[in-house]
Amino acid sequence: MVVFTIIGWIIFGLIVGFIARALVPGKDNIGVLRTILLGIAGSVVGGLIGSLLFAPHRLSLSNPVGWIGSIVVAIILLVIYNRVTGRKAARR
């Protein structure tokens, strides 16, 4: 059961991370592992904040507010990461 939970978070993090990378203009020079970690971090923080603010009675991964919050925070984290590391390259 725990293994399926971990695999679920990895897949969810990958989806959210790829969506964030697709929405931020330019080329991101991060690999799949960092994309997964970006998505998981965005999911934990954004999903919790979104659920607490807009739907406190529905704390679950199936909550659309949690998905939107996850993606928004993942985008913010990606922009911060790119600014701090200077890894953002112009898309050609």
Number of Cβ within 10 Å of residue 59's Cβ equals 12
Number of Cβ within 10 Å of residue 88's Cβ equals 17
pLDDT tens column, 41-77: 988 888 777 667 776 665 555 666 677 888 899 999 9
**Domain residue extents for the chain:** 6-84
Range 2-29 average pLDDT = 86
Residue 87 scores a pLDDT above 70 = no
Show the CA angle centred on residue 70, arms to residues 67 and 73, nearest 5°: 150
Half-sphere exposure of 53 (CA within 13 A, CB side): 11
pLDDT band at 23 (very low <50, low <70, confident <90, very high): very high
| Of residues 27 and 60, more confidently modeled | 27
Question: Can you tell me which residue has the tokens 């725990």?
Answer: 2
Choose among 14, 25, 28, 23: nearest CA to 81. 28
| Of residues 23 and 44, more confidently modeled | 23
pTM of the model: 0.77
